[in-house]
Amino acid sequence: MKVTLSALLLVTTFMSSTSSGAVNVSVTVSTTQAVSFIDELFVGVTLDSSLLPTPQHWGGLDFSSQKVQALAKGLSPCYLRIGGTEGDGLTFDPTGNGTVDVKRSFTGATWDAVNTFAKDVNWKFIFGLNALKRKEGQWDPTNAKELLQYNSAKGYQLAGFELGNEPDIFPGQYNITVSGSQLGKDFYTFKKLLRSTPGYEVTPVIGPDMASVTGAKSQFFADFFTGGGDKAVDRITFHQYYTNGETANLTDFTDSKLMDNLVSNIETALDVTRRTNPLTPVWLGETSSCYHGGAPGISDRYVAGFLWLDKLGVAARMGLEAVLRQDFYAASYGLIDNDTFEPLPDYWLTVLYKRLVGGAVFSVEATVDNSTIRAYAHCTKTSISYGYMPGGVTMYFLLTTDNNTSITFPQFPGQPVDVFWLTPVDGLTSMKVALNNKQLDLVNNSLPELKPYRTEENTITFPGKSFGFLVFPEANVASCSSQ
């Protein structure tokens, strides 16, 4: 017998939306040696700096909401990065009574609110400073010093500072050009400022938050390091989006060729950074499915999970150390609804990733190519609630075709498998997702139990155009036993 009853239910429930052709695939994990490692902060989130000015009222996001706090805690520990295009036009005005236009400034009260929230939900706050505060062609640190002094007086601890957002497109955004080498000098100036300011001796400098590292932009990226950025940055960041949200369509989100573009982007970034900074961690410092705010009606729906989960798999396998999702709230690619704060499909996917996926990353071999099934494997994250001890393996899969797919695991015969499979409640553009056929909803503003079903079958069948996680808790992999 190949298929468990629960797995069969998964298939038959969605048979009407899948073709009759089935795919059989055998999957093997190379567990003898990890290809890379991630930590519990690998997946983070962002908020856009456009929400900071007082008239914006955080775009409606209510930090005091019990629901918002519960959802945020569900992702902890977690980086929160606030940055974005608007950040390079903002001034810190502690009292809000200064001469700066309130639409282009943020206050001490705003700073207090986000720091208090981050502490309450166990998030680690990263902030992007304005790189276009300039004097005689160089960055002017005057306003940054004012923010640092205010922050110190309040006793807030930040996980890092950035300087500028997407400097390679300043000419188009602000009609201002700052060369890569000059930006490197500016970063080094900032690094010296931080190290000489009490309380910031070890605060990481993060950047340069490139919009792109490919084509002509790769030279800007390289110039940043040779200009002084190599001595300044403690974390290297670049941004990535697959396509334009204004023109994207549904099929883009399950397009394996589009997914593969991320691989070449990371290869380019690593090629540049290894020349000067081979040991400095590289992050996707801002990323989502589509730029320009996402694709309305698609980027916050079930189908967006294909690009998101694949991005996490590719980034981990290729050695990136953090992926910061644009964004937790707002626009068309948030993890929670803009009006109700209800969790959207990618929220649940992210929670499961953070609960199930551990540090060591393994390569995976499958008997079909990655246009049919995309597979990733890690050590299982140890868990008291699930009873997962060191030694387990977690795999996650994206089935990008319409075909039902039967997956066989020859190296784990007769072993128990915990299945966490996510399917849409109402088609690929559903705003609701089901875990093992049970719709996921908050319970009294709290997260429900995210229960797997367990099987000992060696072959499990899943519906096409779906994704999920499988945990092999008794895999007894030596490289996972010491984590």
Pick the catalytic residue from 86, 162, 166, 457: 166
Question: What is the DSSP annotation of 139-185?
Answer: E--HHHHHHHHHHHHHT---SEEEE-S-GGGHHHHHS----HHHHHH
Q: Which residues contact 332 (CB under 8 A, 6 or more apart)?
A: 245, 293, 294, 295, 296, 297, 298, 299, 300
Query: Whole-angstrom Cα distance, residue 430 to residue 465?
Result: 13
Cis before 255? omega within 30:
no
Count, residues in the chain: 483
Structure tokens at 241: 């989006």
Do the Cβ atoms of 422 and 305 come closer than 8 Å?
A: yes
Structure tokens at 422: 């996510």
Strand partners, 78: 123
Query: Whole-angstrom Cα distance, residue 138 to residue 361?
Result: 42
Query: Whole-angstrom Cα distance, residue 85 to residue 88?
Result: 6
- Residue 12: its H or E element: helix 5-13
Residue in the block written with tokens 């992210």: 350
Query: Whole-angstrom Cα distance, residue 422 to residue 404?
Result: 14
Do the Cβ atoms of 164 and 208 come closer than 8 Å?
A: yes
Strand partners, 22: 404
What DSSP character marks residue 342? P
Burial 348-358 (b: 16+ CB within 10 A, else e): bbbbbbbbbbb
Structure tokens at 447: 């997260």
Active site residue 321: no
Active site residue 166: yes
Active site residues: 166, 286
